[in-house]
Structure 1
């Protein structure tokens, strides 16, 4: 027990440190040094959970171990993915609208962390944790049928259009989106009526059909308006996503028609779709050499941020040479072709083909320049995964050096004389 002699603790505690704590800590630190994750805490939490499963569940069959491991990874991914969205709650608490400008120089890499003085509302009664609402081999869920509230085709289309920009609903396919749209229940409130009260449990989320509401936060006994919402805006979804009490109160400022979505439909359809999307895209990214050295947390965070774009027919343009670039793309299905005009007025030449797993569009983002080449679809059906500029800058920092080195692939071919 050399090195512990100076500690004024019992021999039993010293033996506990040497025999039980040190082996675990040494192994964990060695793994962290080997992988060097950008944020070590999530990595170490994930490592400890993996070790716990491996050490405590040796009595399970290989099939049971594999299933349990997948379920645990899924839960960890769900928790970690919430970190990137916590800024929405923080922005509300800091009297911000939650929108961001286009100026990349103003971007703050720490905007996902809550300020030191941010306090969550006190929890008034016991709630389920995030893991309590997860399902798998050890927690089977019954077949779920979403409620149906009749709507006109126009109302369903308006609901879908309002939900599409939200990161929460971006993983839904057209059938799932229609199911969710039908599950919304209409509710009308008069002016100056409290719709949500800060600190309450969240059992539903809302979409404004018409009218207006204001969001208020009460702190140190003083209530202030932090945000105003109108037709097409969504509110109340964060309490469902994070399984936490309401972060703010919401009061109508005019007679308002709302669409209300219940917690169970949100969990069974919206959360499930997001989980499936994450699993699918994470597995795909593991096969893309560009992301080979990323740890699982970084890869899952990128998977959450990706959106799929589908192009039918060959020859469709995805990006145009000379345009300002605002997206990064990865080919998910099909093939694309890059063409570049090296001299103004010259016919564009094919410079390369982009197959499944290849990426393009990064040059304009890392150099803050216009598009260096045009990219067209070269297959009957082409699916690409896209990521917007701000998310690319925030998440792809670890691979930016690789992207800069690879930029020479767009240089003109050498002429043979």
Structure 2
């Protein structure tokens, strides 16, 4: 091939990038292309993280003699326009599973066929490609444990090094990246988290070296916060999940962490088989009527971190301020919304999608359906009691004190039951939305 376009989407890196590696090996000239799609408008925090990641990718490509070509508009139309502009022979891209991504891929297939372009889709978003593992008599695994066994026994593809050099077509204008406005930077939840492959790989190496061995012991400890915080880098593909699995595997304490990467893959293969996961119950069930007289008001209290349950409110305020939430917190607030208040899981999933830096469609919506009892949980009726969860995972109240300022002066475990305290000690903190269940 003379010229190949590599269409970047959720794979913003040069290390272990199968589509990029194949293009460099098979074509004389390569056009690394990213299209800013107005249909995928993101909240401020995620926008800043994306722009950091694109700037970092551009720097990596420039160091290899090329550039990141940036365009704005419909990704399919812009890709075809670029192919005509440079006389491309093919388009290479990483395959994805969300409904929007698959619709984009179908359109790209049709347009490339019309233009007689060689379109090739590669793995790279997961460790094991979605759809590669299937149970006997089914198109996907519906339960995690058998998937985990099959996933663990699979021979993973090799980790690919970053290409040493790329050659762009002559005279090609790279285009400019938007600069976040001061307002965007000031209001971005989690804006302090740097995006990009350099930051992601630095975080990966440091966390594996210093924290992986203690992950199983501390993964649910809310104030300890020993989780990797690599999920935003995985969401944007700044870190390769395949390389992360390779780097972690075989080290002391690795299995519980690698298992989480398998959960991520699990939801990608569920979403491939069930693209309606963002709005339709995977397993329909009747949840019963809401337990509160005003569901809209209750949802707003949950959203704003004013439910009267400190551990719930701390987690919701962490989300609002950081664009991230501890995984144990996600389970607690999800159960509280769907099982305690009996409100629709879609409300919570959409709220999370609007704020999280790591808002993967498969994992966000898959996990919300799991906690609501409509998804892949084998115990759909389970309820996480927020008081018991607080006692177990934030026994001293340090996590709550970090985010619920009104209760900052309350010492010890008494912080988890503020309704028992004198009103003057509560700083205006609200009463519980529903009667506490001990």
Pair in the same fold by TM > 0.5: no
Q: TM-score, normalised by structure 1?
A: 0.27
Bigger relative contact order, structure 1 or 2 (CA pairs below 8 A, ≥6 apart): 2
* Higher helix residue share: 2
Which of structures 1 and 2 has the bigger CA Rg? 1
* Higher strand residue share: 1
